[in-house]
């Protein structure tokens, strides 16, 4: 049995892929559901990016003025984790709904 992927790396047999292609009404419903999910992902990405950007800017400002080594180290850890979150969110940028 030949296996191929469809969508987000979900394994499907070639017969399943063929039946998906031959069922336009059913596949249209699946595509509409997928479009809704992608819209939600894009909205969540934007909703997360706005406060994340503010938090990163605030940490950077605090780092400019901080003299205490222990506090500075803590701020650098926070900055590193915020950047990690930013990168994880950016990695989902390919998940966007198609333009109509």
Domain that holds residue 63: 26-90
70 within a domain of the structure (yes/no): yes
- pLDDT truncated to tens, each residue of the chain (100 aa)? 444 444 444 455 556 655 655 555 555 666 667 888 888 888 899 999 999 999 999 999 999 999 999 999 999 999 999 999 999 999 888 777 777 6
Q: Rounded distance, CA 62 to CA 69, Å?
A: 13
DSSP assignment of 65-94: H---HHHHHHHHHHHHHHHHHHHHHHTTTT
61 within a domain of the structure (yes/no): yes
49 within a domain of the structure (yes/no): yes
Query: How many domains are contained in the chain?
Result: 1
Query: Within 13 Å and on the Cβ side, how many CA atoms surround 9?
Result: 0
């Amino acid at each position: 049995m030949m296996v191929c992927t469809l969508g987000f790396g979900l394994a499907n047999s070639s017969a399943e892929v063929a039946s998906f292609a031959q069922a336009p009404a059913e596949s249209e419903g699946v595509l509409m559901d997928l479009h809704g999910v992608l819209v939600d992902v894009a909205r969540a990405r934007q909703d997360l990016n706005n406060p994340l950007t503010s938090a990163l800017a605030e940490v950077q400002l605090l780092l400019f003025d901080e003299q205490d080594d222990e506090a500075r180290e803590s701020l650098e850890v926070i900055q590193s984790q915020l950047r990690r979150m930013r990168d994880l969110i950016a990695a989902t940028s390919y998940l966007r709904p198609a333009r109509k």
